A and B are shown apart, each in its own frame.
Chain A
Amino acid sequence: MITFTLGSLLAYGTPDAFFEASKAEIERAMTLELPNQPKPHWIQVHGIDEQRHTIIAQMGAIQIDAPRHVRIARVDLRVGTPQLDNTNFQTFGSQDGLTIKRLPTSDNVLALRRELWLALDSAYKGATEQYSLKQAALEGHPPPEGPDLLAAPVVTDIIRFEPLIQAEAIQAWIQNLSAPYRNPNLFEEFNVAFRQVEKQHTIVSSEGTMVHFPERYSVLVVEAVRRSEDGEKHSSLRSWVVQDPTSLTEQAETTQAVNRFTDWLIDLEKAPQEPDYLGPVIFEDAASAELFRQLLPSEISGTPPESEAPDGFGALPKPIASSRVGRRLLPLGWSVQDLTQSEIGQVGHYQYDYEGIPVRDVKLVEDGVVRDLLMTRVPREGFEESTGHGRSSNFRRHVARPGVIEIRPNKHTSDRRLRKIAIRMAKQTGKEYVLVVKQLTPLPLENEFEIAFSGDGPLAGLTQANEIYRLYADGHTEPVHSMKFIGVDRRVMRDIIAAGQQSEWIGMLDEDPSAGRHGMGAFTGTPVSWSAPTILIGELELHTQSSHEQKIIPPPSTD
């Protein structure tokens, strides 16, 4: 086994070489011009110097122990004018002004410049072609309202930090965490996946912006699979996304949380299978935060969808943004705020977005109605200033995305009262109990295609409830097998009947909703933080899908 810390092999360079190389090549590239074609009006070079260490263990034995250091440049070049350029437009398979290039990790200005020179050349040619496609699409149609790129203040700032990757300590901790579950007679699978990420972003633009800032987070996913005697397969997982890995490894809560969910799986042995359910559902705080993370982002992102080429009949499609100011999203009195700027301790916090714009807090929903939107430098009617929320996790178009989101009701009901209301509503539909969702499968880890593709049935709309139980009127509870939702959409948020205690900040990884967040995987996305209260929703539909397949061979002995 190879075990070492990449940090000791290659330290981060200073931003000076990257600044110098980018400035020089941006200056040269601004002169690029093909005959009778537009020149660049704006260029941004975004360098991402990333060190990460991934450790994955199966049944407590290390399966992957992989350090990695990579430096990548994302070059964004726009031709035309800020009013009308090659961006915010898509055609299938076309080129655009974005180029990604892997860079040398040593701070050799000439070597960096050579890579940027090629990347900018390719970006210019792609942007020029894309611009002509956009012009062709607009031929015979009125020009679009509003500019393609908003003006923004020039920013210069350097935030230095020292990366710290502690792979050996994490590895030992993972083995300790797994030790009690190393028994294939108890758990068919027990997997722990951990990744620590330390990034340095360096952004240089033709306007003169030069910023350098860190992004750091760690991800832990613990998954267990157990098969009961009748062959039914039960699985569940927990995931954490935090700024500082020691907040996981030095806290007893992590181990306790793993103990709780593995106990839950063992208890499912005797649990009944819930028949298809229609009625009130309580989402405990963690499940509630996951529900909002799945349903809310596209309602609060102001980035307009990209325009498209005319269809075969010459009609220009008009993509419609999900978000609408004035739409009622939540019950009266509820609010949603993005607190990315002020909640400094949260993993979703940052100071500059990927367009080099300082982030600011935004009151998005007041009294249940959308009042403001998260914005990038791409405007929409009535929103002509970036809020500093332009990010992307796949190097593509920057989209306004949440950083730190707090959802608050007008009043918090006690858990006891909330449960009482839920039971009363259940009784009205002839049920003796109400279902309570303790955990939803985190969106990036859902592996059911149903979330993305409907097939013959209605869309689920939410990931599986992987920990769910019945709550009876006398207060006793009974776990049931995991269940799937049917037909959930944003309207269920308006159907919230009551709110309980507010969750702590919960770290997650997320992706741009328009890019498809389903099946992202444990380690992809950008970090976000959410806080939401326990909620009671008036009516939801859930059903069970069981999987029975007896193993032919008994598990190996632990002796």
Chain B
Amino acid sequence: MLILASLFTALADDDPVLNATSQEIERVWPYLTQEEESPHWLGIGVNDVIEYRVQATHGSKMAPDISHMRTADIDIRVGTPELDSTHPLRDSGWFNEDTHFEIELPIEDDPLAIQSALWLGIDTAYRSGVRRIIKIRTNNTVKVEIEDQSGDWSVSPVTEHIEELTPLAIDILDWQNKLQSVSSAALGYPEVYDSFAALDAKREIRYFVDSDGNRIRQQFIRFRVSVFAETIAEDGMELKSYDYIDAHSLDNLPSVETITQMMHSTAQKVTDLRNAPVVDPYVGPAILRGRAAAVFFHEILGHRAEGHRQKDDTEGQTLTDKVNEVIFPDFITVVDDPTLQNWNGLDLNGYYRVDDEGVEAQKVVVVEDGVLRNFLMSRSPIEGFDQSNGHGRRDLGYAPVSRQGNLIVSSDTTMPYQSLKTALLKEIRQQGKPFGLIFDDISGGFTFTGRTTPNSYNVQPVTVWKVYPDGREELVRGVDMIGTPLLTFSRIKAASEAQQVFNGSCGAESGWVPVSAIAPDLLVSEVEVQRRDKGTNRPPLLSPPTAGERQ
């Protein structure tokens, strides 16, 4: 069955969602601005999201999951750009008004129904803003002055950006058959207990309209094919491997043969890991392969370069006072460029043209030749950086804050991977260590940036190899890479020629947003690994059922 998510390819002038949202803002604005406590800005982001998930397991089809929803995120700012209702309330308890409202809209293009829903949402949001600004004024009087005295909102040029809409077409039955075949590959690995192969397809139309006159319509079509395999080691450690390829069109997805190969290698990987030894906590030299290095930079640098963290008194503010100071070796340059759609033929998750505050995305040089130059900015200004550079992003249901898009790490001096490995062996010997580590693949990571927790990071590898001084490699399991940012920045010694892409999603204050990180393989003179949390369950007591067997 071929499913066309939408045959609607409206021109902007005819777009009922865009027009209904614009008209409602135009209609309500005069009423709101004549109030004693009036708003200085009202923005509405409407997201129309169609998602499909087709999945198969053990050579058998699962029913597809299909959804279509349309939501509106309403942000209203009561007060002035210098001080408005989004200003933080310090030490003020749990039960304060929200600064942001999410409502559900009809998926039908019915202007009256859309405007009616927006009307109720805006009225509620405005009342909440009024209540909040009353509290904020008192809070600012009672508390000490906030360290960053910049305002709450910055002016940006008005943008009109309308993208063409195209349908999302998927042959579900065809994909079910393909994935059924792919998933049967895992049956050949008796120690793989659970597995699946899946296709996720999503079309997201993101509208944005505000009281400044911004009118945006962007379309994002994303596909992901993924395979998953899971086993349990005899010591109870749950071993999971998830491999995937993201693309912006069906044409850019791999062939069934390639996906089948991914299924095989994923199943083989967890089978190998099941029999691999556990590595003890250790400090020593390591190579982070490209994807691991990319996540490493996303966690240790990217989050700390987000503008709003420099302003928030509860944040650790690792980089706030380090602008124009050396924070990395001088061969490292880091940019964030959301305008980049793909990289060496791979589609990038972090691509967008206009951010969720109506500001055109810009390439930002965060670190130049090792020196910190800039922050990723939303429309919330910070001292010394009073303009947005198009990084205000959010997930459905959240207010935007500054976030990463496509974080790209590059090196002025590079070497082939084999030379990097030779350098690692040299480093092992120089440090007198029994072995070094190679972090080959990772599943994700996280970092703490606040003041009440250690300012540290954790990168979670899937595949780690021990490298002995004689060059021998041994697969190991059961460790996470940990550390603190400033110390780690200085430990980077060399980089490879080739860069690799990590496509993923990043969860933070404004929800989950798609991101990419690109980095070369890195030689780091010292990393620390700690034991990974492991499960306590025994492997299944009975052998798996097999075809033709009755008992």
Q: Which A residues contact B (CB, under 8 angstroms)?
A: 1-2, 4, 6, 8-10, 24-25, 27-29, 31-34, 57-71, 102, 104-106, 108, 110-115, 117-118, 121-122, 124-125, 182, 184, 188-189, 549, 551-556, 558
Asked if B551 is at the interface of the complex by the 8 Å CB criterion, the answer is: yes
CB-CB under 8 A from B476, the residues of chain A are: none
> Which single member of A9, A63, A68, A105 contacts B105 (CB below 8 Å)?
A63
Q: How far is the CA of A1 from the CA of B50 in the complex (A)?
A: 9
Specify the chain A residue showing the minimal Cβ separation from B115: A556
A97 to chain B, nearest CB (A): 14
Asked if B59 is at the interface of the complex by the 8 Å CB criterion, the answer is: yes
Interface residues of B in 52-78 (CB under 8 A from A): 56-70
> Which single member of A2, A61, A189, A552 contacts B50 (CB below 8 Å)?
A2
Q: List 11 A-B contacts (CB under 8 A).
A: A2-B68, A4-B1, A9-B64, A58-B113, A59-B110, A59-B117, A67-B66, A106-B61, A111-B58, A118-B540, A553-B32
Contact mask for chain B residues 105-129; partner A; CB cutoff 8 A; 1 contact, 0 none: 1111010111111011011001100
Interface size on B, residues (CB 8 A): 61
A62 engages B106 (CB within 8 Å): yes
Contact mask for chain B residues 515-551; partner A; CB cutoff 8 A; 1 contact, 0 none: 0000000000000000000000110111011110011
Asked if B498 is at the interface of the complex by the 8 Å CB criterion, the answer is: no
A66 engages B68 (CB within 8 Å): yes
> Which single member of A69, A71, A188 contacts B120 (CB below 8 Å)?
A188
CB-CB under 8 A from A28, the residues of chain B are: 542, 545, 551
> Which single member of B107, B117, B123 contacts A65 (CB below 8 Å)?
B107
Asked if B5 is at the interface of the complex by the 8 Å CB criterion, the answer is: yes
> Which single member of B110, B126, B550 contacts A61 (CB below 8 Å)?
B110
Segment with Cβ contacts to A, from B23-31, B141-149, B376-384, B434-442:
B23-31
Specify the chain B residue showing the minimal Cβ separation from A171: B108
Asked if B194 is at the interface of the complex by the 8 Å CB criterion, the answer is: yes
B83 to chain A, nearest CB (A): 21
> Which single member of A4, A29, A64, A110 contacts B547 (CB below 8 Å)?
A110
Asked if B41 is at the interface of the complex by the 8 Å CB criterion, the answer is: no
Asked if B172 is at the interface of the complex by the 8 Å CB criterion, the answer is: yes
B112 engages A59 (CB within 8 Å): yes
Q: How far is the CA of A122 from the CA of B539 in the complex (A)?
A: 10
Q: How far is the CA of A256 from the CA of B112 in the complex (A)?
A: 25
CB-CB under 8 A from A115, the residues of chain B are: 57-58
Specify the chain B residue showing the minimal Cβ separation from A17: B60
CB-CB under 8 A from A8, the residues of chain B are: 1
CB-CB under 8 A from B487, the residues of chain A are: none
Chain B interface SS verdict (over half): mixed
CB-CB under 8 A from A10, the residues of chain B are: 63
CB-CB under 8 A from B331, the residues of chain A are: none
> Which single member of B104, B123, B538 contacts A553 (CB below 8 Å)?
B123
Whether A9 touches B1, Cβ cut-off 8 Å, given contacts A66-B66, A549-B127, is yes
Q: How far is the CA of A48 from the CA of B547 in the complex (A)?
A: 24
B60 engages A104 (CB within 8 Å): yes
Q: How far is the CA of A69 from the CA of B62 in the complex (A)?
A: 9
Asked if B162 is at the interface of the complex by the 8 Å CB criterion, the answer is: no
CB-CB under 8 A from B110, the residues of chain A are: 59-61
> Which single member of A62, A71, A112, A118 contacts B107 (CB below 8 Å)?
A62
A7 to chain B, nearest CB (A): 12
20 more A-B residue pairs beyond the given contacts A61-B106, A104-B61, with a C-beta to C-beta distance below 8 A:
A1-B107, A9-B173, A61-B112, A63-B107, A64-B69, A66-B68, A68-B63, A104-B56, A110-B187, A111-B59, A112-B60, A182-B113, A184-B119, A552-B32, A553-B28, A553-B32, A553-B122, A553-B126, A556-B27, A556-B115
A111 engages B24 (CB within 8 Å): no
Specify the chain B residue showing the minimal Cβ separation from A556: B115
Q: How far is the CA of A57 from the CA of B126 in the complex (A)?
A: 25
B167 to chain A, nearest CB (A): 11
Q: How far is the CA of A71 from the CA of B60 in the complex (A)?
A: 13
Q: How far is the CA of A69 from the CA of B64 in the complex (A)?
A: 8
Q: How far is the CA of A102 from the CA of B5 in the complex (A)?
A: 26
CB-CB under 8 A from B104, the residues of chain A are: 58, 63
A274 to chain B, nearest CB (A): 28
Whether A121 touches B62, Cβ cut-off 8 Å, given contacts A2-B50, A57-B106, A63-B106, is no
CB-CB under 8 A from B120, the residues of chain A are: 188-189
> Which single member of B1, B3, B35, B64 contacts A552 (CB below 8 Å)?
B35
A25 engages B541 (CB within 8 Å): no
Asked if B96 is at the interface of the complex by the 8 Å CB criterion, the answer is: no
CB-CB under 8 A from B282, the residues of chain A are: none
B470 to chain A, nearest CB (A): 42
Whether A105 touches B551, Cβ cut-off 8 Å, given contacts A28-B545, A66-B68, is no
Q: How far is the CA of A108 from the CA of B61 in the complex (A)?
A: 9
Specify the chain B residue showing the minimal Cβ separation from A60: B113
Asked if B261 is at the interface of the complex by the 8 Å CB criterion, the answer is: no
A58 engages B117 (CB within 8 Å): yes
CB-CB under 8 A from A553, the residues of chain B are: 27-28, 31-32, 119, 122-123, 126
Whether A70 touches B63, Cβ cut-off 8 Å, given contacts A114-B545, A117-B542, A121-B540, is yes
Most buried by B among A114, A182, A189: A114
CB-CB under 8 A from B60, the residues of chain A are: 104, 106, 108, 110-112
Asked if B6 is at the interface of the complex by the 8 Å CB criterion, the answer is: yes
